[in-house]
């Protein structure tokens, strides 16, 4: 199956997952009022959030709530009500502020994995569908480093996402691995992720660095070499391989990016 056919399939799955988010969270009662800190939220400021369907809220109107949700504006019930639109906007980087990582981090702060009914499954399906679509898109915005950090910010186990990436079965997946290594990993004196939103003591941060620097990513690149025939992809794989191959002593600064 061609990359374009796969992209069409995963795009449909993402659209289905997004629709399911709206269906599942459409059962959450509309808040009569979203209470906020009187020093941070002006009276009536929430009015634009409660007029019309959630899906029709403009990103610009939702952005301030997205930044302040759970901290100084509203609680978990309010977050659940607005969640489909919040995730839709954040996944498309539709907010000038807050950054997508902040929005996805609200899920972990609200302990989403213990929400009622099929809400956690709907969120998980959306996250994985978003990731699958990313691995099939040659260009993506937000960039790959932001997307991986967003997934980590939710408190999710990155293992299934990295397993999917390890297939490296599209040119886009290979390109994204290259881009992550170039822009989001600082290699010396030891590998670390540069995005400021990473919890560097957290499990997802450890999972990604372990995958990149201790052999699994190198194995995925070598397996892709064996089956790949397209010259541009082979060139990318050849560039990536030295970066993800565990060194015997230290990272060769002459062949790895420094930022």
Residue 255 pLDDT more than 60?
no
Q: Please state, rounded to an integer, the average pLDDT across all residues of the chain.
A: 90
Residue 140 pLDDT more than 90?
no
Residue 55 pLDDT more than 50?
yes
d(CA 167, CA 221): 9
Closest CA to 147 of 164, 135, 138: 135
- Mean pLDDT calculated for residue range 135-154: 94
Residue 256 pLDDT grade (very low, low, confident, very high; cuts 50, 70, 90): very low
pLDDT per position as a tens digit, 218-228: 999 999 999 99
- Mean pLDDT calculated for residue range 133-137: 94
Which tokens sit at 125? 């399906």
d(CA 61, CA 45): 10
Which tokens sit at 205? 């941060």
């Amino acid at each position: 199956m061609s990359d374009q056919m796969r992209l069409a399939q995963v795009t449909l799955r993402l659209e289905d997952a997004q629709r399911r988010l709206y269906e599942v969270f459409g059962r959450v009662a509309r808040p009569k009022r979203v209470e906020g800190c009187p020093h941070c939220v002006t009276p009536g400021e929430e009015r634009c959030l409660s007029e019309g369907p959630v899906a029709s809220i403009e990103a610009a109107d939702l952005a301030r709530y997205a930044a302040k949700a759970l901290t100084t504006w509203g609680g978990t019930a309010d977050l659940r009500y607005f969640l489909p639109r919040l995730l839709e906007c954040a996944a498309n980087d539709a907010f000038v502020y807050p950054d997508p990582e902040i929005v996805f981090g609200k899920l972990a702060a609200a302990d989403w994995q213990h929400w009622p009914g099929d809400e956690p499954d709907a969120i998980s399906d959306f996250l994985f569908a978003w990731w699958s679509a990313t691995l099939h898109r040659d260009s993506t915005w937000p960039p790959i480093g932001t997307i991986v950090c967003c997934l980590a910010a939710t408190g999710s186990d990155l293992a299934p996402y990295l397993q999917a990436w390890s297939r490296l079965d599209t040119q886009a997946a290979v390109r994204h691995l290259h881009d992550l290594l170039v822009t989001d990993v600082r290699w010396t004196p030891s590998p670390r992720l540069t995005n400021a939103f990473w919890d560097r003591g957290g499990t997802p941060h450890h999972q990604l660095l372990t995958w990149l620097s201790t052999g699994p990513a190198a194995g995925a690149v070598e397996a892709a070499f064996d089956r790949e025939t397209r010259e541009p992809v082979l060139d990318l794989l050849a560039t990536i391989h030295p970066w993800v191959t565990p060194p015997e002593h230290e990272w060769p600064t002459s062949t790895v990016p420094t930022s």
